[in-house]
A and B are shown apart, each in its own frame.
Chain A
Amino acid sequence: MDPMMPPPVRRIALDRDPFIAPPKPIANGAAPTAVAARPRAVRAPAPIVRERMAVESVWLAYGENWVVRDVSLPVRQGEVLAMIGASGSGKTTLLRSLNRLTEVTAGAARAGRISLDGNDIHELEVNTLRRRVTMVFQQPNPFPMSIFDNVAYALAERPGRGGRRRRRSAKIESAVNDALQRAGLYDEVASDLDRSALRLSGGQQQRLCIARALAAEPEVLLLDEPCSALDPISTAIIEDLIVQLRESVAVVIVTHNLQQAFRVADHVAFMHLGELIEYGSSEQVFDRPKRDRTREYISGAFG
């Protein structure tokens, strides 16, 4: 690379500055003109940052094909961790291993240790773990039930068998509405929560899935490209939500949208062919990447 030329990454930093303006409120409909122009959400640093999950030398395979190789990183509450990397680099696989969803796939293998609050997740009861670490998938996957039932399904199991009859109790209703509101879907669907979730648009379905994941009141939230089906306004709502959530929930987000990673993440993990190439603070990875691969990936996608 020509040493006289500023690396393209720098350009982002330069480009970015003029855009740092007071964030426009989006609630009143004054949407930003382009997502790219959205500045990084101005945020107070989360008061407490504490490590919730630790990934230590984790290897993951489908059959004999090791698609995640020796990855170690922390997942902290009070922070958003973004995972970036080319298609097929193992981001989804790593994400799914955090709540042991990889175990659902026949032939999947793993090595290394993943812990939640110091306890090996493979020693926790799997369903308890998955309630504490919920996931939103790359493709929206609402249940073929009503919007209401989709969210209510995620609420903590109610004791007794009379659950179905009492399921529209005020408590459940407010929990469902609250989750829908946080995911920015409530206003659009409030008029008919009994509609089939399958009749929502793709973006609405994805926000429903986010609402569902939130209704479970997780401690760690895994988001696999949650915004790939969303319009700029919904994306902005979700991004704001993610930034807000990080105080109470440790958030891990996989995204192909580097601007998005920059906007929401405190730390960024860059993966390539199953390896964790670089892990660092958002500013460091985007402005001063240590590894050439990272630099190429970031500049390639940005330039």
Chain B
Amino acid sequence: MATGQLAPSPPPGLSIARTGREGTGSWPLVDRIAFWLCWITGIGLCVTAIAIVLFMMVKGISYLHLDMLVQSPAPSAIQSQSGGILDPIVGTLIVAAIGTAIAAPIGVALAAWLSEYRRPAWLAHTVESAIEIIAGAPSVVLALFGLLIFSQGFLGFLSQTAANGAVYGRSFIAAGVVMAVLALPLIVGSVREALEQLPDRLREASYALGRTRATTIRRVLLPSIRPSIATGTVLGMGRIIGDTAIIRILLGVSLTNQGVGHLPIIGALRGTGSTLTSYVYENSPAGEGNAPQKAYAAAFLLLVLVLALNGLVTWLTNAGAGERRGPRTAFRLLRFSGAQE
């Protein structure tokens, strides 16, 4: 309701005071000490982070050659002939994709159920405890348990079956599924916490319009906490990408990805292989490959990958946080990345 002529900005003579520039001079001493402590902690963290990145960069870049990205690892005692890291890169992506693709929807659904339905109560409590147990279990324990499961005869189709009928139990599928279990508590945790922090007014507003709980969750609550869903997913993904025990036990120790059978994609998923973490381990002085330069290169790439993933999801979150975008925006954006609506 604009009436008359409004000046577009204050006249030039006026000095403009902007908020956010408050000095600490007027603060009480305790506040100032706390303020400086925060500063020091913050700077300390930054220094640590920068040191890690710089160290990995210097080490990594000097050993990382572009052709390594497109070459498969080759078994060789001589470091310069041990090939590239294509297979570990692909392996990492496959495991992360399987793990998050399983964990994210299940995690969000579990969180929604725990926060919005909680019925029957005994089941909700049991599920909560189960999630806590999984969250606390070392990944090597999950891996051993996973191996036990996937070695069962009836799950032979998910990995390799030897001539004598023994099921190998190691494959990308097996590793991906157990990785999903590893990531699940992180996703459930962050989604659930976000749901519980949403004010009840929001739910009531939706119920008062005759919307069901399911509709309310799908169209109001989950879109409202999209950043937390993304955060949980990234946390889970980071956990998956960084885990070594599950890979060593459930994906095998070969450095190259080896498919099973003749089907193109399914064969690869049933097969074994390596990821960046297992590659780093193998080639570090602790492993058998003993190609520390390659290990540094791979570790650097691992770091870059995790940082890039973080950046991607942050970007998706921000892009999706715009108005008029549905919960499927993230997927649409992934498919048509860069395209404006």
Query: A164, B323: Cβ atoms under 8 Å?
Result: no
A99 contacts the other chain (Cβ, under 8 Å)? Answer: yes
Q: Please state if B223 and A145 are interface contacts (CB–CB under 8 Å).
A: yes
- Asked if A128 and B201 sit within 8 Å, CB to CB, the answer is no
Does B324 contact A149, Cβ atoms closer than 8 Å?
yes
Given contacts A127-B210, A134-B209, A143-B220, contact A29 B1 (CB under 8 A): yes
Measured between beta carbons, the chain B residues less than 8 angstroms from A128 are 210
- B 197-226 contacts with A by CB, 8 A: 199-212, 219-220, 223-224
What CA separation (Å) do A139 and B223 show in the bound complex?
21
Chain A proximity mask over B257-285: 1 for CB below 8 Å, otherwise 0: 00000000000000000000000000000
Complexed CA–CA distance, A154 and B219 (Å): 12
**Pairwise interchain contact A209-B323, C-beta atoms closer than 8 A:** no
Residue of A nearest to B209 (CB): A154
Interface residues of B in 309-341 (CB under 8 A from A): 323-324, 326
- A209 contacts which chain B residues (CB < 8 A)? 205
Considering the complex, give the chain A residue whose CB is closest to the CB of B205: A141
Distance of A196 Cα from B224 Cα, bound (Å):
12
Is the CB of A195 closer than 8 A to any CB of chain B?
Answer: yes
Count A interface residues, CB 8 Å.
34
Given the complex of chains A and B, what is the CA–CA distance between A141 and B326 in angstroms? 19
On chain A, the residues within 8 Å of B199 by CB distance are 141
Docked complex: A137-174 residues within 8 A CB-CB of B: 137, 139, 141-146, 148-149, 153-154, 164
Q: Are B211 and A127 in contact (CB under 8 A)?
A: yes
Do A144 and B210 touch across chains, with their CB atoms under 8 A apart? Answer: no
Give the residue name and chain of the A residue nearest to B215 (CB).
A157
Shortest distance from the beta carbon of B210 to any chain A beta carbon, whole Å: 3
Task: For B15, list chain A residues within 8 Å (CB).
Answer: none
In chain B, what residue has the closest Cβ to A144? B224
Per-position binary interface string of chain A over residues 202-214, scored 1 when its CB falls under 8 Å from any chain B CB and 0 otherwise:
0000000100110
Given the known A-B contacts A130-B210, A149-B324, A195-B323, are A29 and B205 also in contact in the complex, defined by CB atoms under 8 Å?
A: no
10 shortest A-B CB distances, which residue pairs? A131-B210, A146-B323, A130-B210, A141-B201, A135-B208, A141-B205, A127-B210, A146-B324, A144-B224, A154-B209
Residues of B within 8 A of A (CB): 1, 3, 199-212, 219-220, 223-224, 323-324, 326
- Can you name 13 A-B pairs with beta carbons within 8 Å? A101-B207, A127-B211, A127-B212, A129-B210, A131-B209, A134-B210, A137-B204, A141-B204, A146-B324, A153-B219, A188-B1, A194-B324, A212-B209
